[in-house]
Amino acid sequence: MTSIDEFRARARAWLEQHAKPFDEAAGFDLEGGSVPLEESKRFQKALWEAGFAGITWPKEYGGQGLGAAELIAFNEEAADFELPTGPFTIGLGMPGPTILELGTEEQKRRYLPPLLRGDEIWCQLFSEPGAGSDVASLQTTATRTETGWLINGQKVWTSGAQFSDFGAIIARTDPTVAKHRGITMFIVDMRHPGVTVRPLVVATGHAPFNEVFFDDVEVPEDAVIGEVGEGWGAAVVMLRNERVTIGAGGRARSNPLGFDSLAELARGRGLDTDPAVRRRLAVLYARESALGAYGRVLHEETTAGLQIGARGSAAKLAGAELALWAADLAQDIIGADLALGGADLERVVTAIVAAPGGAVAGGTNEIQRNIVGERVLGLAKDPGVDRNTPFDQLKLSR
């Protein structure tokens, strides 16, 4: 038995003892809040103590110091279980890796171990009402003070803000330069009295996102992630991590629109022998497998210290397109009963309604295509007529 096999067996044994098996009949937890927050924190801590949190992160920052093979092995075993780790997904997939790459030694030692242990939760604060796909048009400001910076503005579509301890925020620190310059990334305390979080209800009736207001929120000088004025570059690093986190998953039984779930749905409705349905399920399996394989490549390259660049956008785009395609298949399998709903269809119907959001969250499909076209395929860039215009000379609407 290889070391990877031993790791996989240990992970499986731990999961069987500490996690709940996947339950097809359970509701689809779009908000990630069906489990009490304290229970999620306890589970994350137990996961870390067992050696299954921060698998590829350096040991000096609370990680396990292992490779991508161990990470992939754990994820494959975990696909059969319900892990109540939703509140930590953003922090572990986006701000955490960004601090690991760009943060100071003090920031890494202060923030990464508590994140892995489940002591602290993070969110990402990028989008604004007037700066969605074009995040560089952001109008939230950070003004220098004698002791640091004062942040004022609004962010929107922020997942998990309601229970986060910290957030990674980008704000404009110099309006006299072009919009992609003069931006800085900060660590912000979400418990500051000047931070107001309001839930946003989406089409499913859930509230997985929030709008967040900042009124004279003070942050110290050492809250800067990276360099002052280099926030766009820091944002690109975080978006790269985000797109791999969102898009490079692969097959998971807990996905209501995944192959396992839809194959079972077809079987239960007597359609598993229908040639057209079988052919589309085979395509779904192939697309999921291809996306999973691509995700493993990206994870292995990242762990090896290689720059995956804009290829993360290809993973995010493929994942969003796959969800939309699977939603169409699910609707055809359910047929007219889709309008009637019912407890047995709650998971998949909710997922169908939520699927279009994946084509917007984390960067729209159109933006991802532009990124892939320009930075992977080498096609001509969009003219970007305002690219070099000082921000304070642009005509913007709020």
Q: Which residues are annotated as catalytic?
A: 242
Among residues 111, 135, 136, 243, which one has the least CA distance to residue 187? 111
Among residues 331, 384, 334, 325, which one has the least CA distance to residue 359? 325
Q: Burial of 301 by CB count in 10 Å (0-12 exposed, 13-18 middle, 19+ buried)?
A: middle
Pairwise CA distance, residues 239 & 220, whole Å: 24
Pairwise CA distance, residues 239 & 227, whole Å: 17
Pairwise CA distance, residues 251 & 287, whole Å: 10
Q: Which residues contact 385 (CB under 8 A, 6 or more apart)?
A: none
Residue 146 near residue 154, CB atoms below 8 Å: no
Vertex 306 angle, CA 305 and 308, to 5°: 130
Pairwise CA distance, residues 398 & 378, whole Å: 34
Give the CA-trace dihedral at 117, 121, 126, 129, to 10 degrees: 160
Q: Which residues contact 102 (CB under 8 A, 6 or more apart)?
A: 225, 226, 234, 237
